[in-house]
Structure 1
Amino acid sequence: MIEVVDGQRKLSECKRIVVKIGSSLLTANGQGLDLDAISHWAKQIADLHNAGHEIILVSSGAVAEGMVRMKLASRPTDLPSLQACAAIGQMGLIHTWSSVLENHSIRTAQVLLTHDDLADRRRYLNSCDALQ
């Protein structure tokens, strides 16, 4: 119990919180986005935001959404098909997050980063500036 209380105290002191939500928490058994689940997460994010925290959301789910849009019965195993699913599903994923967070008066933006963006000093600093 002490660790939980201590953890909550430390969380309340944070200015910026990174929230990572994996596909299994956002999809209906890996088959498309679960709007109820996403709405639930959006409410929790809104509560943190309203408490004065900056929230960075790292969300999975693009491949699962892309599978639905491409009418695929099973998850592809080859990289080109996975990339196609992710590219197609990303649009729905971002639209869904934007819509549910807008219900809480939270504006959203998408930032796409690669390893190279963080490995190169100039690109890293540009990324930091974009997040400010």
Structure 2
Amino acid sequence: MTKQRWVIKIGSALLTNDGKGLDTTSIASWVEQIVTLTKQDIEVILVSSGAIAEGIKRLGWNERPDDIHKLQAAAAVGQMGLIQTYESLFAKHDIHTAQIL
């Protein structure tokens, strides 16, 4: 039997505190659901938003900028926190993560 592969896309509205940093409780819930799928022998590819929101928080900005260069900077800074969050939550279940660049 061929293993199923699911691609799951989770948008910023489901992962952030109104665009101001990550909602780790919400992310933990998504991780739990994905872990359940992997235990059912389903391969999961997670596509996640949230880097810009986390970057805005880390950079101390009060609102989302319109300038593309500032958005890119926020995404670059926030990506670190996003990946660290996923890594630590999946590690609790002995699941290794990887980022596709």
Name the TM-score, length of structure 1 as normaliser: 0.74
Please tell me whether Structure 1 or Structure 2 has the larger radius of gyration of its CA atoms: 1
Give the % identical residues.
52
> 1:119: which partner in 2?
none
Q: Looking at both structures, which has the greater relative contact order when contacts are Cα pairs under 8 Å and sequence separation is at least 6?
A: 2
Figure out how many residues of one structure are paired with residues of the other and give that number. 100
* Residue in 1 that maps onto 2:17: 28
Q: Which has the higher strand share?
A: 2
Supply the distance in 1 between the matched residues of 2:71 and 2:90 (Cα, whole angstroms). 27
Please tell me the root mean square deviation across aligned C-alpha atoms, in Å.
1.1
Question: Which residues of structure 1 form unaligned runs of 5+?
Answer: 1-12, 113-132
Match of 2:84? 95
What residue identity is the alignment partner of 1:61?
A: G
Cα distance in 1 between the residues matched to 2:53 and 2:94: 27
Q: 68, 77, 89: which is aligned to 2:66?
A: 77
Question: For structure 2, which runs of at least 5 residues remain unmatched after alignment?
Answer: none
Partner SS state of residue 27, structure 2? helix
> In the alignment, is the contact (CA less than 8 A) between 2:31 and 2:89 conserved in 1?
yes
| Distance in 1 separating the partners of 2:59 and 2:75 | 11
Higher helix share: 1
